[in-house]
């Protein structure tokens, strides 16, 4: 407990968290590329140290404009020129096709020169306009405007990174749109990860004449996560945790970065759950997983309450009371079960009250939604905690779209980690929850095209 706490406290005391705001590294790695092998002539080896260095090669766009000696600026320009030649053509996309949602990140360049503007083909322009001027696409596509990373420099270009999601069920519409917009004429590589990259590969090929570059989802997840944490969230830390998670009164959200992120237990809650022990960017293992994930929450909620969307389900859950549905320790023992240190308020049997018809008739849909959410969340917390202890890792990072707009679950996970580990474990969360896989896929695009 003390160890984990002191680590963060120390940082808190020493000033701001590690926020990569550019100022401190000005002139150091300005205008770097996300992948430096060609530019700097260094090898593409994936050793820890070089990977770590690469972390600092990406900076906010204003870095490029900051002062420096004329000679230095000249040198930088030359590098930028050479970079440009090996840069992949626009548009830059990264896609993560999950079981329920497709996550799409799109890099919108804002440093387009007049010359470029003229060269830019019409349908590329229309894609850019379509994506950046709308916040909703079709019936189900959504751009998470609040997550947009502005003035980011990637591969020598400055721009905004947009975060878009739509249901996997709409995948065929998306592919059709790719065909209609003659996407294949742009000769871009579409980097995709997630199971759908495999499942829909053939559809992309036959319907839209597009070749996917298929990437491993866990590789992408880790790479994307570390990247976003490094570049920070428009000047603010990407990560956060809850202080005093066991006390509802004084529980507050605090921001933080994943400075010295390793080792970490990474719990990715999508439709299902994967739990990874991550020792470095390239050294990780999948410890376990569970099929009780976000898909289970939504699936059960739809069956139990007739709701149709995640938002609806969460809205109901926020109003419900799970203790009408769950049997607590005190419902069985009249109070605490002292011999085994079980509090009376602990859940003894999820949905246990529902064995009785009277109780079934007396509960609301909101109660059911809440109980479903609490059951799934506690179970994930429990498994994650066991894995953390087994792997001897104190920092548990929860990501995935299940946590989107879901403070009930984030607080519960923080509480569960803290309470059951007696303060030994700390739950951390990241603002871009479910998008890291897609970011990782985009980074792969920028990396691969540089390889000779």
Partner 1 sequence: MAEFVRVDSSTSGHTMDKSITLPPDEIFRNLENAKRFAIDIGGSLTKLAYYSTVQHKVAKVRSFDHTTKEATGDNLYEISMQEEVTARLHFIKFENAYIETCLDFVKDHLVNTETKVIKATVDKEDEMTCLIKGCNFVLRNIPHEAFVYAKHADSEFRFQTTQPDIFPYLLVNIGSGVSIVKVESEDKFERIGGSSIGGGTFWGLGALLTKTKRFDELLQLASKGQHTSVDMLVKDIYGGSYGSLGLTGDLIASSFGKSATADKEFSKEDMAKSLLHMISNDIGQLACLYAKLHNLSRVYFGGFFIRGHPGEVQALFLRHEGYLGAIGAFLKGAEEDRSSGLMSVSPEMYPMQRARSGTFDMLEMDRLEGKLVNLPLLQDASSYIPDTVDLTEDAHAREYWLYCFEEALDGVVQRAVASQPDMPEAAERAEKFRQKYRHKLQTLRHQPLVLLFSPSAYGSLTVRSLLDTREHCLNEFNFPDPYSKIKQRENDMALKYYQKAVKCLDELSWEERQYALVRGVLAGNVFDWGAKAVSDVLESDPEFGFEQAKRQLEERPWLVDSYDQWFERLKGPPHKCAMFFVDNSGVDIILGVMPFVRELLSRGTEVVLASNSGPALNDVTNGELQILTESIAAMDPVVQAGLREDRLTLVQSGSSSPCLDLSRLDKVLAMVVRERKTDLVIIEGMGRAIHTNYYAMLSCESLKMAVIKNSWLADRLGGKLFSVVFKYEVPATSQHSAALTPS
The per-residue DSSP string of 6-66 comes to HHHHHHHHTSS-----SGGGTTTSTT--S--HHHH-------HHHHHHHGGG--BTHHHHS
Burial of residue 422 (CB within 10 Å: 0-12, 13-18, 19+) is exposed
Q: Is 337 in the site for partner 1 (CB under 8 A)?
A: yes
Q: How many whole angstroms separate alpha carbon 198 and alpha carbon 281?
A: 24
**326, 367, 394, 418: residue in contact with partner 1 (rule CB under 8 A):** 326
**Beta carbons of 181 and 127 less than 8 angstroms apart:** yes
User: Residue ranges of the alpha helices (H) in 140-200?
Assistant: 171-180, 195-199
Q: Is 340 in the site for partner 1 (CB under 8 A)?
A: yes
Site string for partner 1, 257-276 (x = CB under 8 A): -------------xxx----
Closer to partner 1 by Cβ: residue 121 or 303:
303
Q: How many whole angstroms separate alpha carbon 155 and alpha carbon 34?
A: 5
Q: From the CB of residue 75, how many other CB atoms can be counted at a distance below 10 Å? A: 12
**Catalytic hit among 116, 117, 217, 281:** 217
Closer to partner 1 by Cβ: residue 68 or 195:
195
* Relative orientation angle of helices 171-180 and 201-208, to the nearest 10 degrees: 30
Q: Is 199 in the site for partner 1 (CB under 8 A)?
A: yes
DSSP state for residue 89 in the 8-state scheme: P
Q: How many whole angstroms separate alpha carbon 347 and alpha carbon 378?
A: 10
For partner 1, the binding residues in 214-253 under the rule CB under 8 A are 216, 218
**375, 377, 401, 406: residue in contact with partner 1 (rule CB under 8 A):** 375
Least distance from partner 1 to the Cβ atom of residue 315, Å: 15
**33, 350, 406, 410: residue in contact with partner 1 (rule CB under 8 A):** 350
Q: Is 348 in the site for partner 1 (CB under 8 A)?
A: yes
Q: Is 382 in the site for partner 1 (CB under 8 A)?
A: yes
Least distance from partner 1 to the Cβ atom of residue 408, Å: 16
Q: Is 406 in the site for partner 1 (CB under 8 A)?
A: no
DSSP state for residue 1 in the 8-state scheme: -
Closer to partner 1 by Cβ: residue 64 or 95:
95
Q: How many whole angstroms separate alpha carbon 441 and alpha carbon 177?
A: 21
| Residues that contact partner 1, how many (by CB under 8 A) | 67
**Beta carbons of 413 and 129 less than 8 angstroms apart:** no
b/e sequence 285-307, b meaning 16+ C-beta within 10 Å: eebeebebbbbbbbebbeebbeb
Q: Is 358 in the site for partner 1 (CB under 8 A)?
A: yes
* Catalytic residue list contains 217: yes
Q: Is 356 in the site for partner 1 (CB under 8 A)?
A: yes
Site string for partner 1, 80-99 (x = CB under 8 A): ------------------xx
Least distance from partner 1 to the Cβ atom of residue 347, Å: 4
- Residue ranges that bind partner 1, judged by CB under 8 A: 98-100, 194-196, 198-201, 216, 218, 270-272, 286, 288, 290-296, 298-304, 306, 308, 325-327, 331-333, 337, 339-340, 346-360, 368, 375, 378-379, 382-383, 386-387, 389-390
Residues with catalytic annotation?
217
């Amino acid at each position: 407990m003390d160890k984990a706490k002191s680590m963060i406290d120390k940082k808190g005391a020493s000033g701001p968290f590690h926020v990569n705001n550019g100022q401190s590294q000005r002139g150091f790695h300005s205008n770097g590329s996300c992948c430096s092998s060609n530019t700097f002539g260094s090898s593409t080896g994936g050793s820890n140290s070089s990977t770590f260095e690469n972390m600092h090669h990406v900076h906010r766009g204003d870095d490029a404009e900051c002062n420096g000696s004329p000679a230095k600026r000249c040198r930088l320009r030359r590098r930028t020129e050479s970079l440009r030649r090996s840069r992949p053509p626009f548009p830059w996309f990264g896609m993560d096709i999950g079981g329920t949602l497709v996550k799409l990140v799109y890099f919108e360049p804002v440093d387009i020169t007049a010359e470029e503007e003229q060269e830019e083909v019409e349908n590329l322009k229309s894609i850019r306009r379509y994506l950046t001027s709308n916040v909703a696409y079709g019936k189900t596509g959504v751009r998470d405007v609040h997550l947009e990373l502005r003035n980011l420099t990637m591969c020598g270009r400055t721009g905004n990174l947009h975060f878009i999601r739509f249901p996997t069920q709409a995948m065929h519409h998306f592919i059709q749109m790719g065909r209609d917009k003659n996407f294949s004429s742009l000769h871009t590589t579409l980097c995709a990860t997630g199971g759908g990259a495999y499942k829909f590969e053939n559809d992309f090929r036959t319907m839209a004449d597009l070749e996917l570059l298929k990437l491993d989802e866990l590789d992408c997840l880790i790479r994307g996560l570390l990247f976003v944490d490094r570049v920070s969230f428009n000047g603010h830390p990407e990560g956060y945790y809850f202080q005093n998670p066991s006390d509802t009164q004084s529980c507050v959200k605090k921001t933080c970065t994943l400075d010295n992120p390793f080792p970490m237990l990474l719990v990715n809650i999508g439709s299902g759950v994967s739990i990874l022990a991550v020792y470095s960017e390239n050294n990780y293992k999948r410890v376990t997983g569970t099929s009780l994930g976000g898909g289970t929450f939504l699936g059960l909620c739809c069956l139990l309450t007739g709701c149709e969307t995640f938002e609806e389900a969460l809205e109901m859950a926020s109003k419900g009371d799970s203790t009408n549905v769950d049997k607590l320790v005190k419902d069985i023992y009249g109070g605490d079960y002292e011999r085994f240190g079980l509090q009376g308020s602990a859940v003894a049997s999820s949905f246990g009250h529902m064995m009785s018809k009277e109780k079934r008739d007396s509960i609301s849909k909101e109660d059911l939604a809440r109980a479903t959410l609490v059951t799934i969340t506690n179970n994930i917390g429990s498994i994650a905690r066991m894995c953390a202890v087994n792997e001897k890792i104190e920092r548990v990072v929860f990501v995935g779209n299940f946590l989107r707009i879901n403070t009930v679950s984030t607080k519960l996970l923080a509480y569960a980690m803290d309470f059951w580990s007696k303060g030994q474990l700390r739950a951390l969360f990241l603002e871009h929850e479910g998008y890291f896989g897609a970011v990782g896929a985009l980074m792969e695009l920028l990396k691969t095209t540089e390889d000779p």
